[in-house]
Structure 1
Amino acid sequence: MEFIQHHNDLVGSYSAIVTLSGDGLLFDVINGFVYSLEQSTIIPKKIPVPISIIPGGSGNGLACSLNSIFSDDGQTMFNKLIESTLHTIKGQPTPMDLVRITTTTNQIYYSFLSFGWGLMADIDIESERLRFLGEPRFTIWSLYRSFALKRYRGRLSYLHKDSVCQDIQSINEPVSNEWTTINDEFILVYGAYQKYLSSVVKFAPDSQLDDETIYLLYIFGTVSSCQVIEFLLALEDGTHTKLPFVHFIPCKAFRLTPESNDDIMTIDGEQIPCSTIQAEIMPKAASILFRK
């Protein structure tokens, strides 16, 4: 992140920025551009250098989303690495949306994958102690947390994608009547903008790189452990969106105010301080190397 922030001529020095990593290192790369883009007067704001990723982490959500090889075709990790490397070598810069997330602590993040609060964020961060297992760490911790259920109280507001309202208020202003607001107890609130969160989590089946949509999912705190397990199993093929207790909303923006500041919040799998957050789409704010 510091390298990106302080480099004087990235555009003149590099034709692309490639990470061999999980999603976390790419999060650092993208957020290295926050200050320069926030100060930029050019509209629309856009990261000036194409990016690419070759999967080397536990989840690899963006790489999974880019590659159809992460479907049920039995291909090995070797094939996945080759496919992603070919995207980097032979791909062309392809527009990709980012999401701008602001907090009441005056922090700004750029996100390319997801925001989480509640069950799935807890699984992501708490399973770090099992990182040596690789991706299976998520499955093991999911089972544990399904039976040791926690509930989270907060206020969730969102602006549906089909709303005619174009105005998105700043985080310090009340949302307009066009927004839907819910005060309740939740098991989780999760927003994603890529198809996959990992090779076994098909979160937003209809997501495209530049469809200008946040796919917001929330589950109320009235569900049972069995229903939570049903939801987690359904994530593998994307059928969770059809479960009657799952609320899955395409939206332009959302705002979340947790009742407790001790909850876990994540952006692209990285933990951030818990506070009120607001997320909104930045259309085509990045370009990623991709061969069609």
Structure 2
Amino acid sequence: MAPALEAQLDGAPASAAVRDAQLVVRTHTDVVHLPVELVLHTAVARSGDALALELTLLAPRRAARAARACAGTRAARGPYVLTRAQWRARAADRAATRLAPVTLRLALAPAQAADADAWRRDVHAQAFPQERRRILVIANPVGGQGNGKRVLHRHVVPLFRAAHCALTVVETQGRGDAFRYVHTMDVHAFDALVCVGGDGTLHEIVNGLAARPDAATALAALALVPVPTGSGNGAYVSLHGPHRANVALACLSALKGATHAQELCVCTQDAALFRTRPIYPLTGHTRDGRAYVQYYSFLSQAIGLMADIDLGTERFRFLGDLRFSLGYVVGAIRNRRCDVTIDVVLGDCGTTSRPEMRQRARSAAPPAPPPAHTDVRALRYGSVLDTLAPPAPLRPDAPPDGEAGTWRRIGEPVSTLYAGKMPYVARTLMAFPYASPADGAMEILLQTQASSVVQKLASVVDGERGKHVGRPGVRYFKVEALRVTPHTPTHGHYLSIDGEEVPYGAFQVEVAPLRMMLASLDDDEWHAPILHPPAAQDEQQGATSP
């Protein structure tokens, strides 16, 4: 570790050092005391005979509160103090969510040039375990509650500029813009793709990359980073936890976060359902010539009550997360049946046993990349238009059926069906507590029609911590494939894929060979919920109940 540097800051004697992963810059009156992870840029600048060390940092905006929180810094009158303890609690600590770039310029003597350069290199190596400097930002300026443009220009762009990134910003004007841009862009021109918007914008980006001829290469080349401005922000919450939106944390993930592979799901629907040309260009045909549309989902698929909440409350977006809670209460009281046929395949990776799900969640190893020879367009279980053999009933204790891939039918009437690959679909709903990035299975959550209003309301309250999976009237299991066939008219009903409305009708979903890369600050202090999903406390409900 490089020794402390003696310098001057604003004309006063100063010193700069890194001790125990804390950057400490002191003068006789002020102190800068920050975790080294908050360093954005370091440089040694020369101007004639003058020499200076430039440090660009993320620092708390509210100086007084942060300074008082810094134990052991008696002279902490400066504005840039954040303790290691606060940073470790960054998912919930308010001081760690209100960060903004600031640049310090330390004047040095010319003879210190070699020491300054060695010190800078040492700090940079500690601050950037990963480093990405070519950043593409795709922003939906009217995402969620309409604050996308403000977040982009007030927070995201200034932070990346301060980090001296090569920055490209694309603002979408309408549906399909993000899809079209990434479908033809040079993915090797960037290190990270930052999505400023909600899950719908990320859905377009994922599908644009997945529809390319080089889909596997394109998805592997870019670290995808969601910055929350939408209503649900399920991807962001699954990466960083159900706390205050922290734009600085998301941007830091883009610059220096670790990446991990996340399986995608592939969906098929009858092409005849699309009254206008869909943005998804991938199509296929059955042997008898019928056409289907093929597209990808990274987060969730919903029909029934949960889809009605998501899409039927669009006009109340200004309420934020509250619109989902209010919508659920109204829907639970109405208790409208979701008249559908549900068929699933357990395969090798599916299970109805919650103890097994808990064990998998606790011992899941980091996912390996898919084999290079994998056909990324392959549909292992066919399309929604293929005829199924008469499915057997799905029993609560049904064992995995291996490579045979037997279709099984759920005969119980339901109010809603929710399926997905990430734990959180919104800040207040950990819908899939056992979700794993690449275990070959997707989660299925069913709420039965026979459950009472009280049971439905209790399950959504428990859903904030993932405890709903053990409650009466809820069925939860892992599958490799799912087919849902509605039997009701389309009017007044919704089908939601990643929070986006698609034509109401039969759809089929399975885990795809394609994977996307997500970036997060997954270190010794913090583990992304998607990598370490909390186990629901449902032991009392039985070992094999689905």
Same fold per TM (> 0.5)?
yes
- Which of 277, 282, 287 is the matching residue for 2:507? 277
* Separation of aligned partners in 1, 2:228 and 2:339: 35
Aligned ranges for residues 94-243 of structure 1 at < 5 Å?
94-105=260-271, 106-162=292-348, 168-175=381-388, 178-243=406-471
Shift of 1:122: 0.4
* Separation of aligned partners in 1, 2:333 and 2:247: 35
Range moving further from structure 2, 153-162 or 97-106: 153-162
Closer, same or farther in 2 for the Cα pair 1:3/1:193, shift >3 Å?
closer
User: How far does the alpha carbon of each residue in 1:205-234 deviate from its partner, in whole angstroms, 9 at most, with x for none?
Assistant: 122222222101112222222221122111
* Separation of aligned partners in 2, 1:287 and 1:8: 19
* Separation of aligned partners in 2, 1:202 and 1:272: 23
Equivalent AA in structure 2 for residue 50 of structure 1? A
Shift of 1:150: 1.1
Does residue 21 (structure 1) correspond to residue 21 (structure 2)? The answer is no
Contact 1:5 1:35 in 2 (8 A): no
Counterpart in 2 of 1:5?
180
* Separation of aligned partners in 2, 1:20 and 1:43: 23
Closer, same or farther in 2 for the Cα pair 1:288/1:198, shift >3 Å?
same
Closer, same or farther in 2 for the Cα pair 1:104/1:45, shift >3 Å?
farther
Closer, same or farther in 2 for the Cα pair 1:61/1:149, shift >3 Å?
same
* Separation of aligned partners in 2, 1:44 and 1:173: 30
Does residue 50 (structure 1) correspond to residue 278 (structure 2)? The answer is no
Closer, same or farther in 2 for the Cα pair 1:43/1:136, shift >3 Å?
closer
Closer, same or farther in 2 for the Cα pair 1:129/1:49, shift >3 Å?
same
Equivalent AA in structure 2 for residue 101 of structure 1? C
Contact 1:33 1:47 in 2 (8 A): no
- Which of 241, 249, 252 is the matching residue for 2:477? 249
Question: Runs of 5+ in structure 2 lacking a partner?
Answer: 1-175, 272-291, 351-378, 392-405, 523-546
Question: Runs of 5+ in structure 1 lacking a partner?
Answer: none
Closer, same or farther in 2 for the Cα pair 1:264/1:206, shift >3 Å?
same
Equivalent AA in structure 2 for residue 54 of structure 1? V
Shift of 1:12: 3.2
- Which of 225, 237, 254 is the matching residue for 1:88? 254
Closer, same or farther in 2 for the Cα pair 1:44/1:183, shift >3 Å?
farther
Does residue 287 (structure 1) correspond to residue 453 (structure 2)? The answer is no
Shift of 1:31: 1.7
* Separation of aligned partners in 1, 2:315 and 2:178: 29
* Separation of aligned partners in 1, 2:460 and 2:474: 11
Contact 1:261 1:275 in 2 (8 A): no
Closer, same or farther in 2 for the Cα pair 1:243/1:89, shift >3 Å?
same
2:232 is paired with a residue whose SS is coil
Shift of 1:283: 4.0
Closer, same or farther in 2 for the Cα pair 1:121/1:47, shift >3 Å?
farther
- Identity within the alignment, %: 26
Shift of 1:172: 2.1
1:198 is paired with a residue whose SS is coil
* Separation of aligned partners in 2, 1:160 and 1:132: 40
Closer, same or farther in 2 for the Cα pair 1:57/1:43, shift >3 Å?
closer
Could you say which structure has the greater relative contact order, defined with CA pairs below 8 angstroms and 6 or more residues apart?
1
2:248 is paired with a residue whose SS is helix
Q: Which has the larger radius of gyration?
A: 2
- Which of 73, 76, 89 is the matching residue for 2:244? 76
Shift of 1:253: 0.8
Closer, same or farther in 2 for the Cα pair 1:126/1:107, shift >3 Å?
same
Shift of 1:194: 0.2
Contact 1:115 1:190 in 2 (8 A): yes
Closer, same or farther in 2 for the Cα pair 1:64/1:181, shift >3 Å?
same
Contact 1:185 1:220 in 2 (8 A): yes
**How much is the aligned-residue C-alpha RMSD, in angstroms?**
2.4
* Separation of aligned partners in 2, 1:33 and 1:261: 33
Counterpart in 1 of 2:209?
33
Contact 1:169 1:175 in 2 (8 A): no
Closer, same or farther in 2 for the Cα pair 1:131/1:192, shift >3 Å?
same
Number of aligned residues: 281
* Separation of aligned partners in 2, 1:264 and 1:283: 28
Closer, same or farther in 2 for the Cα pair 1:47/1:90, shift >3 Å?
closer
Range moving further from structure 2, 155-164 or 240-249: 155-164
Contact 2:203 2:298 in 1 (8 A): yes
Contact 2:441 2:479 in 1 (8 A): yes
TM normalised by structure 1 equals 0.87
Equivalent AA in structure 1 for residue 388 of structure 2? V
Shift of 1:91: 1.4
Equivalent AA in structure 1 for residue 305 of structure 2? L
